Amino acid sequence: MQSEYVIVGAGSGGCAMAYRLAEAGKSVIVIETGGTDIGPLINMPAALSYPMSMARYDWGYKTEPEPHLGGRNLAVPRGKVLGGSSSINGMIYVRGHARDFDHWAEQGADGWAYADVLPYYKRMEDWHDGGRGGDADWRGKGGPLHVTRGPGTNPLTRAFIKAGGQAGYQLTPDYNGEQQEGFGPFDATIWQGKRWSAASAYLRPAQATGNCEVVQGTAAKVVIENGRAVGVELTDGQVIRATSEVIIAASAINSPKLLMLSGIGPAPHLAEHGIEVIADRAGVGQNLQDHLELYVQMAGKGRHSLYKYWHLLAKAWVGARWLFTKSGIGASNQFEAAGFIRSKAGLDYPDIQFHFLPIAVRYDGKGAREGFQAHVGPMRSKSRGAVTLTSADPNAAPRIFFNYMSHPDDWDEFRTCIRLTREIFAQDAFARYRGDELIPGAGAQTDAELDETIREHTESAYHPCGTCKMGRADDPDAVVDPMGRVIGVDGLRVADSSIFPRITNGNLNAPSIMVGEKIADCVLGKAPLAPSNDAPWIHPQWETAQR
């Protein structure tokens, strides 16, 4: 079996890549371990906590014991299904801040500044404001990816945005437009009441061209002959050959794993596992980053939260209404209010993100009660971890070690996050809804008490990236060049969140898809889309004021 291009992974980057190549008349085979994404638990937005904890859809990875978090093993959900993690994520759509991409370019990712990536965001979007305002000139229309807004009618959701304004922060009509900084409505990859994953947006249209075929199987290694990638060997021994290129888009966890299994990575580590070294790249698997967050929870007064839908009968009603009409509570991910703020003066763009949820509950759906919460955490942690091999067996899970909270600055930043969240929840907008603080709890006030809360209660936001860092070919830590080409091997690229030099502001699905879009043009030899002249909003008093 062969085609011009073989893509490993039917996730956010891989699906976008498959569509653009197939659209251009190229033959494409996409290899995906997981099965179909058809089913109510994936497609109903409000059911988002279910698929990410189901073995049918999730790789089921865990971190190593994290020493700075009390030795806890945290969950690392990664999609094992058509659409990849875009089929099991929270559906939140955040492009990232302009300064994120300018930083990429400064670090050696030439051609990836904000002016360069903004046209690709516009190309991929079909944006609908849902009557909740927005920044239409900065958004795309007619692209494959539907981006919408929930109704935002819950009084707690409205109170959160209002409280941000009362606390002295900006309000923004569209954090994905000119002004990220401030409080406003969230965007989501939801369309007509259903999850709009990369499989829906890109993979099925790619298959409809007749040029794209999906093969279910697990990649064991990239086949490399005379320094060139010529195909992919599956765990069942089958080899799928590529006459032009192999493109890895298997996630920030599985992409470096596959490179190492193929002989591309740190030579001493490969030697430990008896793997022949084809390209000694010290950066493969390194530079692992994530967003860590705490759910600051408040008990609620009255029955304004989603808790009233938490008993069996109500869930059945919500599910039935969604099943037959694709409307109601089930048609939203319930993350309908956002905030992006700066932790202190002297920062020119936000370094804290809020996800507001009108119920007090864990992300896996457990521990629900009447109340509300904000998921909050620093956007640019200085801690770095690594993905390494536990075995040369492709069926063995890799070792995932984020090394969370290993940098002292992370602790200062996280305490600031908690204290600023408390200030927002203390505003008049919440007066009629606000009960006691549940987490951290009113008794936790000192740095030491907040640090204990952080150790015990923080969770991953499920945004791993950085493990195949993009940079200039002479950067010893870079794995791919600015065209996604693996340094030291011909005919091989990586196109997913693993190539991010540094994590972006917000959720990673949007920039992961953008990476697939942009690298597809590189593969096709197309000139990049013309850079944009649009300049982002920066707070005029950023040097002297925190808000």
Say which of 68, 103, 146, 463 is annotated catalytic.
Answer: 463
Q: CA separation (Å) from 212 to 81, 236, 242? A: 17, 22, 13
User: Is residue 55 within 8 Å of 169, Cβ to Cβ?
Assistant: no
d(C-alpha 355, C-alpha 353), whole Å: 7
Equal CATH topology for 2-39+198-283+465-523 and 151-185+292-378+406-457: no
- What are the sequence ranges of the domains in the chain? 2-39+198-283+465-523, 151-185+292-378+406-457
Return per-residue pLDDT of the chain as tens, 547 residues: 999 999 999 999 999 999 999 999 999 999 999 999 999 999 999 999 999 989 999 999 999 999 999 999 999 999 999 999 999 999 999 999 999 999 999 999 999 999 999 999 999 999 998 777 889 999 999 999 999 999 999 999 999 999 999 999 999 999 999 999 999 999 999 999 999 999 999 999 999 999 999 999 999 999 999 999 999 999 999 999 999 999 999 999 999 999 999 999 999 999 999 999 999 999 999 999 999 999 999 999 999 999 999 999 999 999 999 999 999 999 999 999 999 999 999 999 999 999 999 999 987 778 899 999 999 999 999 999 999 999 999 999 999 999 999 999 999 999 999 999 999 999 999 999 999 999 999 999 999 999 999 999 999 999 999 999 999 999 999 999 999 999 999 999 999 999 999 999 999 999 999 999 999 999 999 999 999 999 999 999 999 999 9
User: Is residue 263 within 8 Å of 276, Cβ to Cβ?
Assistant: yes
Contacts of 10 (CB under 8 A, 6+ apart): 18, 30, 31, 32, 34, 82, 83, 84, 198, 199, 203, 214
**In 267-351, at which residue ranges do the beta strands (DSSP E only) sit?**
279-280, 292-300, 337-341
The two three-digit tokens of residue 532, written as one number: 């944009």
- Determine if the pTM surpasses 0.85: yes
* Fold designation for 151-185+292-378+406-457: Cholesterol Oxidase; domain 2 (3.30.410)
Q: Is 463 a catalytic residue?
A: yes
Q: CA separation (Å) from 147 to 144, 191, 328, 380? A: 10, 7, 18, 25
CATH 3.50.50.60 fits 2-39+198-283+465-523, yes or no: yes
d(C-alpha 314, C-alpha 296), whole Å: 26
